[in-house]
Amino acid sequence: MDFFQVLANCVRSSFLLGFTTLRRTLPYPVQVFLKHLLIVLSVVTYDSSSRFAPPAFPSSGNGLWYTTPGTIWAQDFLPIGNGYLGAMLPGGTSHEVTQLNIESLWSGGPFQDSSYNGGNHFPSQQTQMAEHMQNIRETIFSSSTGTIDNIDRIMTPSGAYGSYASAGYLLATLDSTGPFSEYARWLDLNEAVSHTTWSDGSSTFLRESFCSHPLQGCVQYLNITDSGVLPALTYAYTVAETGLPAPNVTCLDDATLIIRNYVSIPGMLYEILAQAQAPGGFVSCSEVPGSNPPNATLTVTGASEAWISWFGGTNYDMTAGNTAANYSFQGPDPHNSLAALLSSANMRAPSYAELLDEHIKDYTSIVTPFSLDLGQTPDLNTPTNQILAEYQASVGNPYLEWVLFNYGRYLLASSARGILPANLQGKWAEGYSNPWGADYHSNINIQMNYWSAEMSNMDVTKSLFDYIQNTWGPRGAYTAQVLYNISEGFVTHGEMNIFGHTGMKLGGNSAQWANYPESNAWMMIHVWDHFDYTNDVDWWKTQGWPLVKSVASFHLEKLVEDLYFNDLTLVTVPCNSPEQVPITLGCSHAQQLIWQLFNAIEQGYEAAGDTDTAFLDAVVSKRVQMDKGLRIGSWGQLQEWKVDMDVIHDTHRHLSHLIGLYPGYAIASYSPSLQGDLIINGTFMNYTKEDILNAAAISLTYRGMGTGDDADAGWEKIWRAAAWAQLANETEFYKGLTYAIERNFAPNLFSLYTAGSTIFQIDANLGYPAAVLNALLQAPDVANIGIPLQVTLLPALPPAWSSGEMRGARIRGGITVDLAWNAGKPTTVTFIIDRDLAGRERDVVVNYGGKVVTQFRSNGGYIQTISSF
């Protein structure tokens, strides 16, 4: 396609939207040209000299604001969401193009291919697979290097893996051509509402958009000042260039559009109901004559305010991902439940003010149990994109760093509270086929999404654990059987969709991506943590423990005796680090994780009310015998693999072997008596904790800053920052954190795959609050509840945050912490122990500046405040 064809297409295509999507793929000068054309066409004169936040912008500065509409989806548009639905807003004036998402709208799976089986082998292949596995292990054990080139014979084509897909666009068009002035758009993070305002010279317009969790719907509101009447307003729907087939758009009634189609033919069914309201005015729905498929629009006239509420769903059903349902994942036509949502919305909240109020109350209740202050001074004179453009690594800007913290929590609260957990893009995706399927990559990404949830006291994990239970468990048990000849528990690998993709996904250079049967173990640490933070015994008994036990049962069977080193230890084989070969034995990452998993079994056994002592005994004895994945290598590094083959300048993006440093604890809480029983070449190696932490620091240093070959994502920088905080190195922590901001964050503060790219990856946004918290308060897990919990106050406080405060932080054991500091030192800290500890009282030691500040027993209801340090 040459430039003039592109231009001709643009002119034909429906306005702003076509430009935005097309422009991204074009050479930069062409993009600039189209951008100017776009602005001319919109007939808006933006007063970019305006340097004051809009009057309604939070005075605390808690939000994002801009003086021009957005043009690039991944860099400029502003996100709203309630977990079920998401939307992205450019902030248009007389024409607004709201990009929509429905959380379960996916291509692929059994909807597209009835023979889809989660990328697995067939039952008849079980014996052959067991033989392959045996042979692969023997090859590794007998090779001089302890490695094998590939394990493709046990892997499987991905089949109809699918992708999370956009749900099209809602168009809102005012019959008003401008010119417009006094433009501003902003996202209010106190209330989770997006706003756009502009003037046509005589009247001022205001548009507000939000997605309400109690409503399970989204709302877009528009009004005009001066008791004026809005020009005719039309609402329409388009799939434009998403790749979705054109749907049926018809009138359900005079005020409601009904949009229905399949994401592909055959494929999943989706429906959107969109209802307009205009008190004092008229709403009509008209079907466009002669369109095939049918098309319709809503028109509002004679009103001074109007809003549209939309609801969306699909016929996906997570609970139909098991043998009883033949893994159909299929539920009923979504129409009836959407119609019920619409009518219940109308009955409960007839006015916009009530809808808004209900939304704000709900959002506030989710985020305000925790709050953070970094001593920032709000900058209300500089738009967010400008603040970011001026931002410099290491120099920093506490105000922007604080906004990003709140934004990470906003994005988690707005994407996780649906039926499905937050995916690689939360719930915001523009295309039909999105980068990495916008799936649930489970070798760091989905984990990082939830790193801050427990400590920042947010009740957002339900969909995560339901998703694991319903879509990982059943088909993962099949994979355990057929691929590993293991009849206990379930297994999953590195890449997961919503259709139980549990197999090892074959692709180019595939083992490094797919050979990750520890994804289940890593997620079980999240399950364990949820219990450890909340002491919610009922939840643990019904959901947490069965999951953890199942995964531990699998790994119990899968560990084998090391016939390479012949040191009588148990190892995983074949293994590789996530996304990094060699394929070898005893990978440190896997060994550390499984050790932590086995500790969770012993720690949670009693509370679960389990009586399976044979299982517990097996876990305890294999835990002693297993290799702990902690070895100091030839250049002082912590070895990534049991065979010492770390390359000194390996700047790989993952910090796989440092998982026990952060977010895990195998390194951070290293115990020589539990983990130090190691004989190498006949020499007894009793590493001290200091030895292990020093080796981890050497590995971390040589891993670089998170910019290297195929390594420039935001998440890897955030991970490094959190790891430096764990090592109490505030200089490296702040350097890493601020480098991520400078390099990877876009004007809309989305984190990008590489500097300046248009690929959005939410993990760095959601991991960011956790990295910040890890510099302020640490209480890493310990192998058992008899070991005191070591709490460290301000372990890596950067000078830029010399005064501040956090309230409502949670640490393990059902403890709430309020902490204030000034001049770089704590001023007060209060520990409030939950009333009901379910028998899980423990010793807590509080440290600051290398000294013990206090210690106490966490008896239920106990409160301790310290104000001298």
Ligand X SMILES: *[C@@H]1O[C@H](CO)[C@@H](O)[C@H](O)[C@H]1NC(C)=O
Minimum CB separation from ligand X for residue 98, in Å? 13
Report phi then psi at 75, rounded to 5.
-110, -25
* Binding map of ligand X across residues 3-42, x = CB under 6 A, - = no contact: -----------x----------------------------
Around Cβ 253, how many Cβ atoms within 10 Å? 10
Of 225, 286, 346, 867, the residue at the interface with ligand X (CB under 6 A) is 225
498: nearest Cα among 22, 92, 20, 106 = 106
Place of tokens 């909240």: 349
Minimum CB separation from ligand X for residue 538, in Å? 35
Of 260, 462, 541, 807, the residue at the interface with ligand X (CB under 6 A) is 260
- Beta strands at 789-793 and 843-848: parallel, antiparallel or unpaired: parallel
Report phi then psi at 854, rounded to 5.
-165, 165
C-beta of 252 vs 866, nearer to ligand X: 252
Binding part of the chain for ligand X, among 78-86, 286-294, 715-723, 742-750 by CB under 6 A, reads 286-294
- What is the layout of strands, in order, in the sheet containing 95-102? 78-81, 85-89, 95-102, 169-174, 233-238, 296-301, 282-287
Of 3, 131, 177, 836, the residue at the interface with ligand X (CB under 6 A) is 131
Q: Which of residues 636-655 bind ligand X (CB under 6 A)?
A: 644
Cis, peptide link before residue 27, omega less than 30° from 0: no
Minimum CB separation from ligand X for residue 830, in Å? 28
Minimum CB separation from ligand X for residue 29, in Å? 29
| Cβ 836 vs Cβ 820: under 8 Å | no
Task: Give the count of residues interacting with ligand X (CB under 6 A).
Answer: 41
Q: Is 71 in the site for ligand X (CB under 6 A)?
A: no
The two three-digit tokens of residue 394, written as one number:
């290491």
164: nearest Cα among 342, 418, 350, 466 = 418
Of 532, 562, 579, 732, the residue at the interface with ligand X (CB under 6 A) is 732
Q: Give the CA dihedral 394, 396, 402, 403, nearest 10 degrees.
A: -120
SS (HEC) of 651-697 = CCCCCHHHCCCCCCCCCCCCCHHHHCCEEECCEEECCCHHHHHHHHH
SS (HEC) of 725-765 = HHCCCHHHHHHHHHHHHHHHECCCCCEECCCCCCCECCHHH
The CA distance from 466 to 468, in Å, is 5
Around Cβ 140, how many Cβ atoms within 10 Å? 25
Of 7, 37, 232, 246, the residue at the interface with ligand X (CB under 6 A) is 246
Minimum CB separation from ligand X for residue 424, in Å? 26
Helix (H) or strand (E) segment spanning residue 30? helix 28-42
Minimum CB separation from ligand X for residue 624, in Å? 13
C-beta of 131 vs 354, nearer to ligand X: 131
Q: Which of residues 687-706 bind ligand X (CB under 6 A)?
A: 688, 697, 701
Binding part of the chain for ligand X, among 127-135, 621-629, 655-663, 769-777 by CB under 6 A, reads 127-135
Q: Is 257 in the site for ligand X (CB under 6 A)?
A: no
* Binding map of ligand X across residues 183-222, x = CB under 6 A, - = no contact: -----------------------x-x--------------
* Binding map of ligand X across residues 549-588, x = CB under 6 A, - = no contact: ----------------------------------------
* Binding map of ligand X across residues 303-342, x = CB under 6 A, - = no contact: --x--------------------xx---------------
Binding part of the chain for ligand X, among 387-395, 534-542, 569-577, 675-683 by CB under 6 A, reads 675-683
C-beta of 6 vs 206, nearer to ligand X: 206
Angle formed at CA 715 by CA 711 and CA 718, multiple of 5 degrees:
110
Q: What is the DSSP string of 360-408?
A: HHHHHHHHTTSEEE-S-----SS-HHHHHHT--TTT--HHHHHHHHHHH
Minimum CB separation from ligand X for residue 130, in Å? 3
Minimum CB separation from ligand X for residue 246, in Å? 4
C-beta of 291 vs 784, nearer to ligand X: 291
The two three-digit tokens of residue 272, written as one number:
């959107």
The CA distance from 679 to 628, in Å, is 12
Q: Which of residues 349-368 bind ligand X (CB under 6 A)?
A: none
Of 686, 784, 865, 867, the residue at the interface with ligand X (CB under 6 A) is 686
The two three-digit tokens of residue 453, written as one number:
């949830």
Q: Which of residues 478-507 bind ligand X (CB under 6 A)?
A: 485
Of 68, 261, 277, 397, the residue at the interface with ligand X (CB under 6 A) is 261
The two three-digit tokens of residue 774, written as one number:
């890890």
Looking at residue 619, what DSSP letter applies?
H
Minimum CB separation from ligand X for residue 390, in Å? 27
Minimum CB separation from ligand X for residue 128, in Å? 9
The two three-digit tokens of residue 401, written as one number:
């760093």
Beta bridge partners of 100: 87
C-beta of 567 vs 602, nearer to ligand X: 567
The CA distance from 726 to 720, in Å, is 10
C-beta of 296 vs 594, nearer to ligand X: 296
C-beta of 99 vs 238, nearer to ligand X: 238
Minimum CB separation from ligand X for residue 193, in Å? 9
Helices vs strands, H then E, count in the chain: 23, 33
Q: Is 672 in the site for ligand X (CB under 6 A)?
A: yes
Of 59, 346, 365, 731, the residue at the interface with ligand X (CB under 6 A) is 731
Minimum CB separation from ligand X for residue 111, in Å? 12
Of 117, 216, 384, 580, the residue at the interface with ligand X (CB under 6 A) is 117
Of 120, 147, 176, 295, the residue at the interface with ligand X (CB under 6 A) is 295
C-beta of 326 vs 867, nearer to ligand X: 326
The CA distance from 221 to 307, in Å, is 4
| Whole-number Cα distances in Å, 806 to 731, 776, 810 | 21, 9, 11
Q: Which of residues 95-114 bind ligand X (CB under 6 A)?
A: 114
Q: Which residues of the chain form contacts with ligand X (CB under 6 A)? A: 14, 114-115, 117, 127, 130-131, 134, 171, 206, 208, 223, 225, 236, 238, 246, 248, 260-261, 288, 291, 293, 295, 297, 305, 326-327, 485, 644, 672-673, 676, 680-681, 686, 688, 697, 701, 729, 731-732
